[in-house]
Structure 1
């Protein structure tokens, strides 16, 4: 049975709203469960670049949000609990950890969402301890996340019947147009994971090609810098430098990705030739982010020196020199 554009729009909107709600609530619940511990881990286990990258990867995987981890790092840098140079490794690690979400999205888990939602709802309703209720909320939202993606996919399926929609989605194969769409969508919904999730579901329904999906992915990486930059406002120069490094890392990585998108797409096809397009896009996300981290990791000392030269930490010395005059 054919669906009208209005029915498709309402169905897709319901799935998208559920998805955004579940992403936000899941991140909040995970922060309540593990946030303070993760903050302590970021403070203690970032003494070397490899350890900082590993820590950023693990914490992002557990909290399911690279933005949350980078904002945590910015807060610690601002408080003086984390040296600026150590935060750079955390930023790189967060970019690896966020690829776990795309791998999960590529699995068709929506039909099994009740396996997580039911015990989560029972914990949320019956647990007398706050920790149990929070864990139940996280489990319920985890299941709801995949159920909402399932709804998005089902809503998108009838779009194959509309040549105009297919023609517009094919236009996203143009790298700059696809990246612009990904960046704009991420800015609007404030979640690169949501953008990637929708792209993967469109690819799963054969509505989005791999080159178009990769272009959207590159744009989403840029759009996610907005909230971390906002988090640096009023936090001092060390925190600002962490946010600027995140922006600089993404701009350089995305520029290289756009310039090399044809050979990169060919590489993904060669490595994952037997996978479907959704899985290929998830693999492309991992390959792109890990490649960017491997490129930047040896350059961290240089990046630190350049940012220190551009924004020297002269706020404290000025305050110290002003004290004797006041006295």
Structure 2
């Protein structure tokens, strides 16, 4: 593998990860107050909470950001533990919209939001419009990073070592899940891990089995942010964090156990040779099925976790 391939591959990856983090931060600035208001106001039922979680995550581009805001609201007594469960499930669905976006062939047009965002920042200087310019700029930079990665990996199709290495991932879904989880833990972004899998799939370097197993592992790796956010939090916030981790563990375990059926189903609903699109579809199907599987048991789960992690008793000082 020559130096130019590595330079553009890792350069694109760095831009991609940096853009995701900055985009999430600036979207949080633009939407945070409104997100807090919407989350606390329109989460009176589990269904409403689910819809709010989907919408907020699709807009903010980060399930971790939405779940962390949810935990903050729980700690501030602005949201009940029961209604937080719907938001967490909705965030898992909302994050799949970014993978669908990554699978679209729009990287060639990344220059337009980059240029428009830069012009807005030059003339606006500060305020809400300036923040919108930042959002546009980092949105364009994100897809420019994808563009760099897509084109840098093309010569790797002629590398027998690299191809055999990626093919070995597809031999065991557990191996792919381990790699996906470890990658997400290191780069702290499940969206970036899934994005990398989509890029490699689009270039025919990753098999459908390898791509889907890496995606499954990425779902678990993203739980680290949630657990960190619950440190020194209320018992209700800790219950929300435990629910998020448990939900991902259970659904990933089911996905790995039923992996062959899952792969066949995703392949059936993705009648295209574009493996990037197949991985994105698999990401969406997995999270939708996971939410539909767990939704009927939310009441039981709420009572179980409330029993295992009860609220601290109020101690009256004489």
TM-score (structure 2 length as normaliser) = 0.98
- Point out the more displaced range, 121-130 or 259-268: 121-130
- Alignment partner, residue 260 of structure 1: 258
Partner of 2:173: 175
**1:243 matched to which residue of 2?**
241
Aligned counterparts of 1:114 and 1:186: Cα–Cα separation in 2:
28
Does 231-240 or 4-13 show the bigger shift? 4-13
> CA separation in 2, counterparts of 1:59 and 1:188?
25
Kindly state the Cα deviation for residue 244 of structure 1 after the two structures are TM-superposed: 0.4
Between the aligned partners of 1:15 and 1:159, the Cα distance in structure 2 is 15
Aligned to 2:107: 110
The answer as to 2:45 corresponding to 1:48 is yes
| Distance of 1:65 and 1:107 partners within structure 2 | 19
Which position in structure 2 is the counterpart of 1:271?
269
Is contact 1:49–1:297 with CA below 8 Å preserved after alignment?
A: no
Partner of 1:212: 210
Alignment of 1:54-73 (within 5 A): 54-73=51-70
- Aligned equivalents of 1:169 and 1:104: distance in 2? 24
- Name stretches of at least 5 consecutive residues in structure 2 with no aligned partner: none
1:139 aligns with 2:136: yes
Report the Cα offset of residue 128 of structure 1.
4.2
Give, in whole Å, the separation in 2 of the partners of 1:313 and 1:262.
Answer: 42
**Partner Cα separation in structure 1 for residue 154 and residue 303 of structure 2:** 51
What residue in structure 2 maps to residue 16 of structure 1?
13
Q: Deviations over 1:169-202 (max 9, x none)?
A: 1111111100000000000000000001010000
Give me the whole-angstrom Cα distance separating, in 2, the residues matched to 1:204 and 1:289.
21
Distance in 1, Cα, partners of 2:310 & 2:273: 49
**C-alpha distance in 1 between matches for 2:217 and 2:272:** 26
Measured against aligned partners, the alpha-carbon deviations of 1:232-276 in whole angstroms (never above 9, x if no partner) come to 000121100000000000000000000011011101111112351
Question: How many Å separate the matches in 1 of 2:250 and 2:110?
Answer: 38
**Are the aligned partners of 1:66 and 1:95 in contact in 2 as well (CA < 8 Å)?**
yes
Q: SS at 2:153's partner residue?
A: helix
> For the residues of structure 2 that align with 1:115 and 1:14, how far apart are their CA atoms?
20
C-alpha separation in 1, matches of 2:69 and 2:126: 26
In the alignment, the residues of structure 2 paired with residue 117 and residue 34 of structure 1 have an alpha-carbon distance, to the nearest angstrom, of 20
Distance (Å, rounded) in 1 between the aligned partners of 2:254 and 2:142: 32
Listed as ranges, the matches of 1:90-101 within 5 Å are: 90-101=87-98
Separation in structure 2 between the aligned mates of residue 158 and residue 208 of structure 1, nearest angstrom: 14
**Does residue 230 of the first structure (1) align with residue 244 of the second (2)?**
no
Q: What runs of 5+ residues in structure 1 fail to find an aligned partner?
A: none
Cα deviation, 1:188-236, whole Å, max 9, x if unaligned, reads: 0000000010100000000001110000000000000001100000012
Report runs of 4+ in structure 1 exceeding 3 Å deviation. none
Per-residue CA deviations over 1:88-118 (Å, capped at 9, x if unaligned) read 0000000010000000000121110112111
Cα contact 1:222–1:251 (8 A) shared by 2: yes
1:135-175 CA-to-partner distances (Å, cap 9, x unmatched) read 00000110111110010111111111111111111111111
Partners of 1:218 and 1:277 lie apart in 2 by 16
2:2 aligned residue: 5
1:161 aligns with 2:186: no
Please say if 1:126 is aligned against 2:123.
yes
SS of residue in 2 equivalent to 1:172? helix
Alpha-carbon distance in 2 for matches of 1:255, 1:171: 21
